[in-house]
Amino acid sequence: MFKLVTLQDTIRIPPETFGNPLEKVGCEQVKAKYEGMVDEELGYVIAVTRVEVSPIGKIIPGDGATYHKVGFSLLTFYPVLQEVVEGDVVEIADFGAFVRIGPVDALLHVSQLMDDYISYDEKQGVLLGKESKRKLAAGDQVRVRITAVSLGRAGSSGKIGVTARQPFLGKLEWIKQEAAKPAEAVQEKEKAAEKGKKE
């Protein structure tokens, strides 16, 4: 789930940047600290969207910099358990597929792909269902449900697990085929009913 989060912090304005516009330097400092960060509470920080730096700063003895209070907004992505998301398959491996959801890749393990025996075709780079003959390859779009989230500690990128073994989940092409089946069955019943009336 994408969110806009408003926070406050205190930033250090280095002495070598004195004379430059305070808002610009403050924005650079906030971006350097927050963008790309993974946090248990915030999730994945994608971008700093708004920065307001207090013009009044403090000086700490022994440090030539000034410290200013700053208010800012962050665009974040926080994966929520049971959330249904769509993404692109970015990599196929013998143990599953990596699906890009938001700014991160989630693991779709082969056991969570479909109700079928799945084999990995290394030459074609696809996961193939034995009975259904369904293929999953890099570039395919899938709809999945988030089943596991571990954002980890500072410096870790975290891990996300997803499943496609539920109704209306999986490759978007498969979902369209499944959704069309009931409509086709209704049309066939209507045709049979009309044929019965004519006879």
Residue showing tokens 């890009």: 100
Give me the pLDDT at residue 121, please.
87
Same domain for 159 and 113? yes
Cβ(49)–Cβ(5) under 8 Å? no
Same domain for 165 and 99? yes
Last residue of a domain, one of 50, 77, 104: 77
In the 8-state DSSP scheme, what is residue 164? -
Give me the pLDDT at residue 151, please.
80
Same domain for 89 and 73? no
Domain that holds residue 24: 2-77
Same domain for 6 and 55? yes
Same domain for 73 and 88? no
Same domain for 119 and 46? no
Same domain for 66 and 113? no
Same domain for 18 and 68? yes
Q: What is the CATH number of the domain that holds 48?
A: 3.30.1490.120
* Domains identified in the chain, total number: 2
Side-chain-side CA neighbours of 11 within 13 Å: the count stands at 26
| pLDDT tens-digit series, residues 25-76 | 999 999 999 998 888 888 899 999 999 999 999 999 989 899 999 999 999 9
Give me the pLDDT at residue 81, please.
92
Report if residue 163 sits inside a domain. Answer: yes
Q: How far is 138 from 92, CA to CA, in rounded Å?
A: 6
Give me the pLDDT at residue 197, please.
63
Q: How far is 183 from 64, CA to CA, in rounded Å?
A: 73
Report if residue 186 sits inside a domain. Answer: no
Q: How far is 91 from 96, CA to CA, in rounded Å?
A: 9
Report if residue 199 sits inside a domain. Answer: no
| pLDDT tens-digit series, residues 170-193 | 988 888 888 887 766 666 766 766
Cβ(97)–Cβ(91) under 8 Å? yes
Report if residue 195 sits inside a domain. Answer: no
Same domain for 99 and 164? yes
Same domain for 143 and 109? yes
Give me the pLDDT at residue 97, please.
93
Give me the pLDDT at residue 55, please.
92
Report if residue 131 sits inside a domain. Answer: yes
pTM assigned to the model: 0.75
Q: What is the CATH number of the domain that holds 121?
A: 2.40.50.140
Cβ(88)–Cβ(100) under 8 Å? yes
| Bridge partner residues of 70 (DSSP) | 9, 53
Report if residue 189 sits inside a domain. Answer: no
